[in-house]
Amino acid sequence: MMKTSPIDLFHSAIRLYDNGRVQAEERQMHGELNGWTVATFHVETDEDVHPDYWEMHPGAEEAVCVLAGGVRIFLRPEGPGSEEATTLKAGNVFIVPRGRWHRLELDGPSDLMSITLRNGTRLEKRAEGQSGA
């Protein structure tokens, strides 16, 4: 019989595998990772969410869930134009399309949850002088 105990989601990640296995493990946000990652974060400042970088997940959509606080999620334009911004408050979720570059800015201290396939996740520095909404 498997021994169970509470897991602190603010310090660990949960990995969901296709074979039905669920495993708690050390949080890894990039690299070659199998299965879906569920990760929860307490963030205080914009620096905690790397607002000066775009992020993209080529293998899946990402659910960005706001558990407490509020954030603005920005999608990089796919052609000419400006960033698309969406404001999220506690209890909201935003589904980032697969392969779409995105970034976050905080409205204040927040608790966030991210659910996605992290395998192949990429980060790209924002161009100098780019700003959000």
Q: Could you give the CA distance from residue 63 to residue 38 in angstroms, rounded to a whole number?
A: 9
Q: Could you give the CA distance from residue 71 to residue 64 in angstroms, rounded to a whole number?
A: 10
3-state secondary structure 61-99: CEEEEEEECEEEEEECCCCCCCCEEEEEECCCEEEECCC
128 inside domain: no
Interval 11-55: pLDDT, tens: 999 999 999 999 998 877 665 678 899 999 999 999 999 889 999
Q: How much is the pLDDT for 21?
A: 92
First to last CA, the chain: 52
52 inside domain: yes
6 inside domain: no
Q: How much is the pLDDT for 5?
A: 87
7 inside domain: no
What residues pair up with 75 in beta bridges, in sequence order?
84, 102
Q: What is the CATH number of the domain that holds 52?
A: 2.60.120.10
Q: How much is the pLDDT for 115?
A: 96
What domain range is 31 assigned to? 12-122
Residue 127 confidence (pLDDT) above 80: yes
129 inside domain: no
Longest dimension (CA), the chain: 57
Of the candidates 73, 72, 66, 80, the one whose C-alpha atom is nearest the C-alpha of residue 112 is 66
108 inside domain: yes
Helices (H) and strands (E) in the chain, counts: 0, 11
90 inside domain: yes
65 inside domain: yes
Q: Assign 48 to helix, strand or coil.
A: helix
Total domains in the chain come to 1
Interval 73-126: pLDDT, tens: 999 998 888 899 999 999 999 999 999 999 999 999 999 999 999 888 899 999
